[in-house]
Amino acid sequence: MSSGDTRPETRFYGAGVSPGIARGTVNVVTDDFEEVAHYRISADDIAGEIGRFETALIQTRAQILEMQQKIAEAIGAKDAGIFDAHLLVVEDRTLIDEVLRKLENDRYNVEYVFQEVATHYADTLSKIDDPYLRERALDIQDVTRRVVRNLQGKAPKPVLSMAQPHVLVAHNLTPSDTATMNRDHVLGFATDLGSRTSHTAIMARSLGIPAVVGLHDVTQKLESGQEVLLDGYSGLLILDPTPETLWHYGELKDRKRRVAEKLTELRETKSTTRDGRHIVLSANIELPTDVDTVVENGAEGIGLYRTEFLYLNRATLPTEDEQYATYRKVAEKVAPHPLIIRTFDLGGDKIALGMNTDDEQNPFMGLRAIRFSLEHLDIFKAQIRAILRASQAGNVKIMFPMISGLNELRRAIGVLDECKAELQAEGIPFRVETEVGAMIEIPSAALCADSLARHVDFFSVGTNDLIQYTLAVDRVNERIAHLYEPTHPAVMRLLKMVSDAAHAHNIWVGVCGEMAGDLTMVPLLLGLGMDELSVSASLVPRVKRAVQTLSIPECQQLVADALAMDTPTEVLARCGEVAQKHYADLI
């Protein structure tokens, strides 16, 4: 922009999904679907077309595995696991069989038939009012392009990007696009479509690329070569930023840098409030490889190990010995700090390939978590035996998910006792005093917390599900996501009920849902009497800093004020006041 140009800046609002500030020249890229030839084939050609199709699927699988390996080496196995969904597409028998059927009946060339079938699948999923399934549509589109290019004998197409630093703007980006970006050239990216939970957003956060999604039609309003500033914190894309805006963001970047430097100094300090109350600050993990980040960020052990990731995307279930070896390694790495292993929360949207399950109309309220375990005792017992055996290696605790009442808890503990008796009879060592906990994530469990507390050593509140089930709100449904309110008076009362019941029976209570990592919510949780907070490893330093600036009496006063309020908005504003007063630079 020339010095004489007085054009005002233009702001486009979306969702910030990967933090950071990027400033540079725009490169607008448009979707360019492959032109696929369309011609008739004879009955004699069908075998050859099937052969071409099988070869292309094998090539595509090899390319995805290679990309997975590169991502795993660059940023870790957890993020590379995103491409497991792509592998499932090339192994999807329903899709493959439909291609073979149409090939036989319609007799068109296989790349045309495949693109037609795969596009129909993706279009169907993209119209479903479920963000998780809409993301699977993007996975199918991603893989479809790879398969078609392989059928055409072409190399995989890299994301279009300039050879110099720029801000990439596109209608949508696939996880493959994001994973293969040249991070020296792509300063940040913005898209018309997308959500915070998309695989593309997750990849951006892991790669440290500032990103804004959900900008609707921004690709039609920008042209390559224009100057923009991208704010991945608040979800802004600013065209022709004014000198005042540039100064503001320069200051913001500097403040963020100083805060980050301070946070790294907190690793060896304790999460103790100003008046001396120690809050155990743990980390949530999904994969054994995540343990290193737990230690690096100064967490006091693992408050939630989501074991179902051992079961997903594999043809057979893990054996007891496999699980034992995995749990033991994790326990050894975090010792002497605790490792809380949640028994698998399969069902819902997480189904292991080695399990036979019937379709359910509402799987999130169906046969999942502890219900699934109690229906599949052979799988459940293999896991409990593995956990008990691993308890020899460190401070291992076991936790049952989605407990709805006392009968379920008693049945689960009964299976645990059976496993202990079996191991003793076989002469296999384990820690007899291994602590047992119940996850409180269903309102019925919160309401019955007093009776549940008599049978366990601790509670861990899964706030994500507790809030959803209490308010009947699917938090990833864009139409009603605004109704997902952690500060709803009903949620606060349930949390207080759980905390009071735990302390009345001399057991500790923690929070392992996203609410624990929300800095605005930390004062509220401390005031409610939570003894432990378990958050994503990367959030540990920020939450620790927040805890260190607070005092329990002030947090208890916040709760007293909040319980007298009638609306979530009032409570949230009061929580925000306390947070801003003590650690505004973190928010």
- SS3 of 571, please? helix
Does the active-site annotation cover 512?
A: yes
Could you tell me which residues come within 8 angstroms of residue 358 by beta carbon, excluding any fewer than 6 positions away?
Answer: none
Crossing angle of helices 540-549 and 568-583, rounded to 10°: 90
d(CA 298, CA 257): 19
Q: Which of 512, 555, 575, 582 is catalytic?
A: 512
For the chain, percent helix, then strand, then coil, each to nearest 5? 50, 15, 35
User: What are the tokens at 98?
Assistant: 């439909």
CB 323 within 8 A of CB 383: yes
Question: Where is the binding site for phosphoenolpyruvate, in residues?
Answer: 306, 342, 464-465, 475
Crossing angle of helices 568-583 and 489-504, rounded to 10°: 70
Backbone angles phi, psi at 212, to 5 degrees: -130, 130
User: What are the tokens at 230?
Assistant: 């991208």
- SS3 of 12, please? strand
88 CB burial (10 A radius; 0-12, 13-18, 19+)? middle
Rg (CA), the chain: 26
Backbone angles phi, psi at 12, to 5 degrees: -115, 130
Beta strand 166-170 with 21-29: parallel, antiparallel or unpaired? parallel
Whose tokens are 């103790």? That residue is 272
Does the active-site annotation cover 38?
A: no
The neighbouring-strand residues paired with 460 are 439, 510
CA 291 to chain centre: 16
CB 326 within 8 A of CB 367: no
Q: Which of 199, 337, 376, 582 is catalytic?
A: 199
d(CA 587, CA 463): 21
User: What are the tokens at 162?
Assistant: 């300039």
Question: Where is the binding site, in residues?
Answer: 306, 342, 441, 464-465, 475
Burial 308-322 (b: 16+ CB within 10 A, else e): bbbbbeeeebbebee
Question: Where is the binding site for Mg(2+), in residues?
Answer: 441, 465
179 CB burial (10 A radius; 0-12, 13-18, 19+)? buried
The neighbouring-strand residues paired with 108 are 40
- SS3 of 491, please? helix
Could you tell me which residues come within 8 angstroms of residue 325 by beta carbon, excluding any fewer than 6 positions away?
Answer: none
User: For the chain, first and last CA: distance in Å?
Assistant: 33
Show which residues are catalytic.
199, 512
